């Protein structure tokens, strides 16, 4: 009895993704890079427009915020010149020049500085709020003066007492039903308190209830 020998059929080689181009096989990872590609004209235009707008915003940026930015001297000079130009067409050309100088710069630090000017830093907001609390407490409560002088002994106590008396007098309505008025002393107490808080002590907190 003859026994037939079955030959094994060789497996087909696993297909490799990619394609041939100009006699060269392009692999999948190279395809992905091709798909990403350089930025489009639309993207480049949007970036240029944003930097142009940021450059215009630099004209009104506060000096302390401007000093913190690492800007080229050429850009600083261009901004200073733009502030002096009153002619419309001349101003437009100068702003285009500023936009050109802005192109190689990282926009993020400039965005942060502009946002800080628009919204105020968290520390500044807290300091103003604390000064307002102390001012209102000093005017409303006699005991608050002792607490304040205990935390800020360098305060001119006679001056502060005189300001408090005048602020209370100014706040009294001239006629029944009228709203309380805030005069010059009210604002001066705020300035005095704010300056003292800025100088220290560092652990000064919100005005609380005076100790018995």
Domain residue spans in the chain? 41-119, 122-199
Model pTM score: 0.44
Q: Do domains 41-119 and 122-199 have the same CATH topology?
A: yes
> Which residue, 114, 60, 111, is CA-closest to 82?
60
Asked if the model's pLDDT at residue 114 lies above 50, the reply is: yes
What's the pLDDT score for residue 100? 92
Instruction: Give, in degrees to the nearest 5, the angle at Cα 46 between 44 and 50.
Output: 115
Instruction: Give, in degrees to the nearest 5, the angle at Cα 96 between 91 and 99.
Output: 125
Cα 178 to Cα 90, 111, 130, 168, 190: the distances in Å are 53, 45, 28, 15, 23
Matching CATH number, 41-119, of 3.30.1490.20, 3.40.50.1390, 1.10.3720.10, 1.10.60.30: 1.10.60.30
Higher-confidence position of 43 and 114: 114
Asked if the model's pLDDT at residue 109 lies above 70, the reply is: yes
> Which residue, 190, 139, 203, is CA-closest to 169?
139
Which tokens belong to 37? 């590609």
Which tokens belong to 88? 């419309």
Average pLDDT, the chain: 80
| CB-side neighbour CA atoms (13 Å) of 151 | 21
pLDDT digits (tens, 9 = 90+) for 27-58: 555 544 444 556 677 887 888 888 888 998 89
Which tokens belong to 135? 């001012």
| CB-side neighbour CA atoms (13 Å) of 88 | 0
What's the pLDDT score for residue 35? 47
> Which residue, 146, 118, 123, 101, is CA-closest to 197?
123
The CATH T-level fold of domain 122-199 is: Diphtheria Toxin Repressor; domain 2 (1.10.60)
Please give the backbone phi and psi of residue 19, each rounded to the nearest 5 degrees, phi first. -155, 160
Q: Is 25 helix (H, G, I), strand (E, B) or coil?
A: strand
């Amino acid at each position: 009895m003859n026994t037939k020998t079955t030959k094994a059929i060789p497996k087909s080689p696993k297909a490799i993704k990619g394609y041939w181009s100009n006699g060269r096989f392009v692999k999948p990872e190279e395809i992905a890079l091709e798909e990403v590609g350089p930025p489009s004209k639309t993207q480049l235009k949007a970036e240029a427009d944003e930097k142009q707008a940021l450059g215009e915003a630099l004209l009104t940026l506060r000096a302390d915020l401007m000093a913190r930015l690492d800007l080229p001297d050429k850009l600083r000079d261009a901004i200073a010149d733009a502030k002096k130009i009153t002619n419309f067409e001349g101003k437009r050309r100068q702003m285009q020049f500023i936009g050109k100088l802005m192109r190689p710069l990282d926009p993020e630090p400039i965005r942060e500085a502009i946002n800080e000017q628009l919204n105020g830093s968290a520390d500044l907001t807290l300091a103003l709020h604390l000064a307002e609390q102390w001012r209102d407490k000093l005017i409303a409560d006699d005991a608050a003066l002792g607490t304040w002088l205990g935390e800020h002994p360098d305060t001119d106590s006679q001056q502060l007492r005189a300001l408090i008396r005048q602020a209370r007098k100014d706040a009294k309505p001239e006629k029944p039903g009228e709203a309380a008025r805030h005069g010059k002393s009210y604002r001066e107490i705020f300035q005095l308190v704010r300056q003292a808080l800025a100088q220290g002590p560092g652990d000064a907190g919100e005005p609380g209830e005076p100790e018995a």
